[in-house]
Structure 1
C-alpha cells in the first residue's frame, strides 16, 4: 500500500526518541514492501522524506494543518496515498489530507495532546494505552507495542568507548536519551553522591532542557564519577550500550503532568534498546513495565525516585555476574521475539487495512 506518514516537527533521522520512532517506523514499513511518503522536519535527509516541517510551537499548533496542507498538497497528490498515518503532533493535518483525497486517516498518539479533529474523524487510533484517550473514542483505539532496531544496534567500537569513559577500568552504568525532569536522571547523580560499591562511572549520553541542571548537580558527586557526553549519533549508540556493565532508565512519572494523572503508559524505547544488546537493565517499578517485562528475569525494578533502592539494584548486578548475565540474556531474548520495529510494522499494516476497508468501529 501507499502510506502518507505525517510527522512535520520530527527530524529524520535524529537523536531523540521521537526521531528514532519515526525513522524506524518509516523504514520498517518500507521493508514490508509499502511505499511511504514521510512529511518531516526541514533538514531531514532520510530517503523518501518530504522535508517541509518546523519545530512545534504550542501557540501555533492548531494552524499547522493549513500551513503544511498548502505547501505539500501537490506532492501528496502525485504520490496518491491509500491511507494517511498522522503523528499526534501534526494536529489534524491527516484529516485535511484524508478529506481532500477521499482516503482514511489513522492517528498515532502518546497522550491527549492531539487535535480534537483527529480524535473525532480518524478511522482508527494507534496507542500503547487507552487510559488517557477520551472514553467516546476508545472503540477506535488499537493497542500496539513500540519496537527497537535490533539489527541496527551494532556493538562495534565498544572497546574504544569503554576506554574513553572508564580509562582506569571502572564499571560503567549508562543512561541514554533526552534530558527532561520526568526522566529522573538526578537519581543517578544521587547514586554517585553516596555510592559505596566498586569504582563506578555513571555515563549520561544525550541532551535536553534538563541537562545543564543535571551537570551542575553532578559537580557535587564524589563517590562515583559522572560523565556527560552530550548527543551521540544514533548509529553509534550500540557501541555505548555494549560498553556498559549496566544500563538505567530512572523515570520519574510524578513529574510529568499526564503520567501523574493517568500513569506512565508508554513503551520505553530506551529500555528496549538496552535489552536488545543484552545489557542488564534497571528501571522503575510501575504497572506498565511489569506488563511488558518479568522482574528478575528481564529487568530489575525499583521504586521511582528512590535513589537508595536504585543504588542497591545496581550493586546487585555489579556484584553478581550470574544475575547480570541472566537478566541481560533474558531481556535480549524477549526483545528479539516480541519488540522489534518489524513486528510493530505488521501491527500497523493490519490497522491500515482495517481503516481502508472502512469497517464499523468495534472493540479490538
Structure 2
C-alpha cells in the first residue's frame, strides 16, 4: 500500500503523536509499504528525511494545559492539494484529524480512504462543542476511526458518536530490554525515583516535589531524578523551592537523548507519573513497564487503561501529595513488592509492542478499504439501474 501519515504537530519535535507516527512509518516500511509523512515543521526542509513533506511553519499555541506546535499557514491548502494529486495514496491516516489546520485541509482534498486516530483526552472539549457543526463535515470524510485508549474514545464519542476501533499506542520492547545498562553515576546505593516529562502544569511535577521531603524523611537515601524536555526557565521556580527549603538529592538532568532514556528507566527503583489529567494513555508508563519498573501514577482515566492498582503499580488521587508520598515510601520500603509489580508490568506491556500495534492498524486499513470498495460497487449497481 501507499500510505500517508499526517500529523498536525511540529515534526520531528518530541511528542507522543510524533513518536507514534515515526514508529508506524518504520513498521510499515519494514513490511514493504511505501510511506510518506505530511506534517508542519520548524526544521529546515533539507534537514528532514526524504519521505517527509513539510507543510507550513510552526505557531505555538496554549491548549489543555500544554503548548501545541501547529501550522496556521494559508499556503497549506495549495501545497496539500499538490501532494495528494502527485502521490495518489491508497490510505491517508490523519492523527488528531480535527486539529487545525493541516489534517482538516488533507481531509478536504482527499479522494481516497481516510483513517483518523484520536490521541487526546480531556474531560470536556470546548472546541468540539462550539465547532461541532463544522467539524461534523470532516468527521463524515473519515472511513475509519481509531482511538488510542478507552479514555480517548469516551471523549471523542461524546461529541461525535459512531464506530471506533481502540488500538493503543505502542512501544519498542527491545529498546527497554534487559540489555540496557543503568547509569553508573546514579548507582551509588541511593534509591532513585524517576520523573520524566515536561514542566507543564498537567504533568503534576510540583506535587511530586512537594511530596519528596516526606519521602526523604523516611528514606534519607532517596533521590529524585528529574528528566524531560524542559528549559531552565521552566524549572527556575522548582530550583528556588529546592534551595529555599534545603531539599537534598533532587537532580535536574533536563532533556535526555533517545539512547540514554532507557538507561534512566533502568537506573530508577520507582517511576512516578503524577499527572493531573489530559492524559489519554501515558507512553512513559509503558516505557517504565517495559523496563521492569514499578509505577506510582495518578488515578486518572488515561492511566487506568495501563496501570492496575496493586498489580503493576500504585494509583493515587491526583494533586494529593500525602497519598503520593505514602505510595512512594511503600514501594521504597519493599524490594519484594517492587520486583513483583515490575515483573507483572513487563508481562502486561507485551500487548503494546509496536509490531502488534502496526499489524493491527494495517489489518484495520484493509478492513476499511474492503468496506469502502464494497460500498462503491453497490452504488455503481444502483446507479446502473
Pick the TM interval, shorter chain: 0.7 to 0.9
Point out the structure with max Rg over C-alpha: 2
Structural mapping, 1:25-174, within 5 Å: 25-40=24-39, 41-43=41-43, 45-46=48-49, 48-58=51-61, 64=72, 66-88=74-96, 91=100, 93-94=102-103, 96-98=105-107, 100-109=109-118, 110-111=120-121, 112=125, 116=135, 117-127=137-147, 128=149, 129-133=152-156, 135=158, 137-153=160-176, 158-159=181-182, 161-163=183-185, 166=186, 169-174=189-194
Moved more, 53-62 or 269-278: 53-62
In the alignment, what sits opposite 1:214? 238
SS in 1 for 2:250: strand
8 Å contact from structure 2 (residues 3, 92) kept in 1 = yes
Judged with a 3 Å threshold, the aligned counterparts in structure 2 of structure 1 residues 341 and 55 are, in CA distance, closer, same or farther, namely farther
* Structure 1 vs Structure 2 CA RMSD: 3.0
How far, CA to CA, are the matches of 1:304 and 1:62 in structure 2?
A: 29
Distance 1:221 1:29 in 2: 51
Q: Does 1:335 align with 2:334?
A: no
Structure number with higher relative contact order (C-alpha < 8 Å, ≥ 6 residues apart)? 1
- How far has the Cα of 1:151 moved from its partner? 1.8
Comparing 107-116 and 53-62, the one that deviates more:
53-62
Deviations 1:221-271 (A, max 9, x none): 535421111111223211111111111111112xxxxx5xxxx5x111110
**Structure 1 residues without counterparts, runs of 5 or longer:** 254-258
Contact 2:94 2:114 in 1 (8 A): yes
Q: TM-score, normalised by structure 1?
A: 0.83
| Corresponding residue for residue 268 of structure 2 | 244
**1:175 and 1:205 in contact (8 A); partners too:** yes
Shift of 1:138: 2.3
> TM-score under structure 2 normalisation?
0.79
| Contact preservation (8 Å) 2:271, 2:288 | yes
Pairing 1:229–2:256 present? no
State whether residues 108 and 138 of structure 2, in contact with CA within 8 Å, keep that contact through their aligned partners in structure 1.
no
Deviation at 1:10, TM superposition (A): 2.8
1:203 aligned residue: 225
**C-alpha distance in 2 between matches for 1:220 and 1:16:** 33
Structure 1 residues 234 and 313, CA, compared in 2 at 3 Å: closer, same or farther? same
Shift in alpha-carbon separation, 1:61–1:21, aligned structure 2, 3 A: closer
